[in-house]
Amino acid sequence: MLIHPEVTAALAAGGPVVALESTIISHGLPRPDNLRIAREIEDAVRAGGAVPATIAVVDGTARIGLDDEALSRVAGDPDVTKVSVRDIATVAARGGVGATTVASTAHLAARAGIKVFATGGLGGVHRGARDTWDESADLTTLSRTPILIVCAGVKSILDVGATLERLETLNVGVLGYRTDRFPGFYRADSGHPLDWRVDSPGAVADVLRARAALGTDVYGLVLANPIATEHELDVELHDRVLAAGLRAADVAGVHGKDVTPFLLDFFHRETHGASLAANVVLVLGNARLAAEVAVAYCAA
Ligand code: PSU
Ligand code: MN
């Protein structure tokens, strides 16, 4: 692993650092806007008072914190591979370039000593998983990775109820940020209630400290931050595009790691930019909140 000097310095000083994933850049957001958005996400972390550490594998090296050249390559090269935990070593051994998912980003961030991670949406249990067994490695990785992940819930392309059940089984806690409802990514409310609500970055930091004292910090923790209602995707547009996207994936016979990128791309195209606008707003909000939580945690 190669840790960016600014990240090394912050960690050594016990300062706030926020990890960021790169699959959202390479496979989750359309080129060429993705590079500008990736920089804006880093800026949002800085605005919240923390150091951003975008994570990717570049020429065989797992990098924690990217310089502008590396960020540009991950954003601009259509051949960048989507890398989950099981793929990191193979891509590294071959000197390849890979964008890390929530799972592999969480793994590498925790290994570097980073405690807080921000993204848009978590992977989860796919619809039809009873037949396909398609469940994101994000879930099992969080079950054994000591990190807080700030996200806007999971997309409705997934089976949200099943995802919440799996998180419970895997000892991954879920805190609603100023909400009692699990957020639905493009929508503030997925329709599922949550057991726990927190109302300030300080309250999240209190939970992080209690986890460390009690040893439950070996597991991941989700801080679910809903999109502001004025930025939500129109519900009819959302439901229509979701149904069409699931049908299109079925017809095209998409499977495995291609399912999520396929559906994200379908959404962005079919909503003519409305889903992209919502996606950007929520990820910037998550980056900012993650920074504030990291600051609160380091302050005590
Ligand atoms: N959900 C989103 N946007 C994303 C992803 C998920 O709303 O960009 C990406 C993340 O990198 C996540 C990955 O870790 O997709 C999950 O892919 P899979 O379902 O193949 O595990
Ligand atoms: Mn999958």
For the chain, domains (ranges, CATH) are 2-298 (3.40.1790.10)
Q: Are 220 and 172 in contact (CB under 8 A)?
A: yes
Q: How many CB atoms lie within 10 A of CB 72?
A: 14
- The residues pairing with 174 across neighbouring beta strands, listed in sequence order, are 222
Question: Percentage of residues in the chain with pLDDT exceeding 90?
Answer: 98
* Ligand 1: nearest atom to the Cα of 102: 14
**Residue ranges with strand state E in the chain:** 2-3, 17-20, 51-58, 61-64, 81-83, 98-100, 116-118, 148-151, 173-177, 181-184, 187-193, 196-198, 221-224
- 299 Cα: distance to centroid of ligand 1 (angstroms): 32
Closest protein CA for atom 16 of ligand 1: 123
Percent of the chain with pLDDT over 70: 100
Q: Model confidence at 118, in pLDDT bands (50, 70, 90)?
A: very high
pLDDT, average across residues 49-57: 98
Whether residue 164 is predicted with pLDDT greater than 90 in this model: the reply is yes
Q: How large is the C-alpha radius of gyration of the chain? A: 18
Among 21, 135, 232, 292, the active-site one is: 21
Q: Which ligand is nearest to the CA of 103?
A: 1
Question: What pLDDT, on a 0 to 100 scale, did the predictor assign at position 121?
Answer: 96
Task: For 232-253, write each residue's pLDDT tens digit.
Answer: 999 999 999 999 999 999 999 9
Contact 278, 231 (CB under 8 A): yes
Distance between Cα 261 and ligand 1 center (Å): 7
The CB of 257 under 6 Å from ligand 1? The reply is yes
Please compute the mean of the pLDDT values over residues 134-160 and round it to a whole number: 97
Q: Among 82, 115, 155, 257, which one carries the catalytic annotation?
A: 155
- Distance (angstroms) between ligand 2 centre and the Cα of 256 equals 5
pLDDT surpasses 80 at 300 = no
Tell me: the pLDDT tens digits for 72-84? 999 999 999 999 9
For residue 163, give the H/E element and its range: helix 160-169
Ligand 1 pocket check for 123: Cβ under 6 Å: yes
Best CA proximity match to 54, nearest among 73, 78, 31, 77:
73
- In this prediction, residue 280 has a pLDDT band, given cuts at 50, 70 and 90, of very high
pLDDT at 2 over 90: yes
Decide whether any atom of ligand 1 lies within 6 Å of the 28 Cβ.
yes
Q: What is the 3-state secondary structure (H, E, C) of 68-96?
A: HHHHHHHHHCCCCEEECHHHHHHHHHCCC
Encode pLDDT of 185-201 as tens digits.
999 999 999 999 999 99
User: Average pLDDT of 91-119?
Assistant: 98
Average pLDDT for 264-271? 93
The angle subtended at Cα 115 by Cα 207 and Cα 98, nearest 5°, is 140
Does 137 contact ligand 1 (Cβ within 6 A)? Answer: yes
pLDDT of residue 123: 96
